[in-house]
Amino acid sequence: MRKIGLLALALVLALGALGVGYAAWTDTVTIEGTVNTGTVDLVVEGYSGMWMWKIPGGDPDYKLSTNPAYEPTQVPEYPKPFIVAYSCAAQTTAGATPAPVDDSVTVTFNNLFPLLGADGRATPWEADFECHYVGSIPVKVMIEEIKIEPKTGDDDLSGLTITISAYTMLGESKVWTPITPEELEGLQIHYCDRVRFVVNILVPQYATEALNEPNMGQNGTVTGQIKVIQWNEYEAPGY
């Protein structure tokens, strides 16, 4: 019995010695952190256009306004002023109970005719909307498509010209700066920058009725897409 006790004691000591032999020196560096992905997000925040008022008895008897709330003063004893033609942008809505459609703009160009600017030169009708870039990743602007149809048949709108121009309010700037269509393609914008896109339709004016008449009384559609892409993956058209 004593022998068994000694054996057990020896085993315990041996095991203890073994444990001490296995204890290595170590040190540990722990890595912890967070990941968040950026965003690419262009938000449409404002809409505007042009309204041509006819002011019977006025001098001048018309007013081209870019303010939707504008209403001319009525000249006494004359009929009320009315809107002859207009072009404007608005938020797209859809559904039985119309609800806004994200990232979608509806433009309307109604009863257009040749328009002359203050300099006497042909000037386009404009429908414009303001975009606010709220993404965290710099992007570049791409005009994917802008077109007016149809261009054949009874409603042939091939005589009209459609383009997109823009104004920018970048960085700390508080004023709108016009840029050319060439500058717009590939324009880089950052968080909080603003761009006002203008859809222009020019109705030409010719010296003879025969050339003007094909552009009268025509009906069609406008479609287009403006895309922004992370700046480092932008490829200019043609590449």
Angle at 127 between CA 125 and CA 132, to 5 degrees: 145
Q: How far is the CB of 25 from other proteins (least distance, A)?
A: 43
Binding residues among 148-177 for other proteins as defined by CB under 8 A: 148, 157, 160
The SS3 of residue 11 is: helix
Which region holds residue 158: left if phi is over 0, alpha if psi is between -120 and 50, else beta?
alpha
187 counts as binding other proteins under rule CB under 8 A:
no
* CA atoms within 13 A of residue 199's CA, in its CB half-sphere: 28
In terms of Cα–Cα distance, which of 130, 127, 234, 129 is closest to 186? 234
27 counts as binding other proteins under rule CB under 8 A:
no
Contact criterion met (CB below 8 Å) for 225 and 147: no
Query: What sign does the dihedral 190-192-100-106 (CA atoms) show?
Result: negative
Q: Which of 48, 165, 168, 215 binds other proteins (CB under 8 A)?
A: 215
Q: Which of 41, 71, 183, 185 binds other proteins (CB under 8 A)?
A: 41
221 counts as binding other proteins under rule CB under 8 A:
yes
Applying CB under 8 A, which part among 2-10, 18-26, 68-76, 220-228 lies near other proteins? 220-228
Q: Which is nearer to other proteins, 77 or 172 (CB)?
A: 77
Which one-letter DSSP state was computed for residue 77?
A: T
Q: Which of 7, 14, 98, 113 binds other proteins (CB under 8 A)?
A: 113
Which residues contact other proteins (rule: CB under 8 A)?
38, 40-42, 44, 52, 54, 56, 61-62, 79, 84-85, 89, 92, 103-114, 116, 127, 129, 131, 135, 137, 139, 144, 146, 148, 157, 160, 197, 199, 201, 203, 212, 215-230, 233
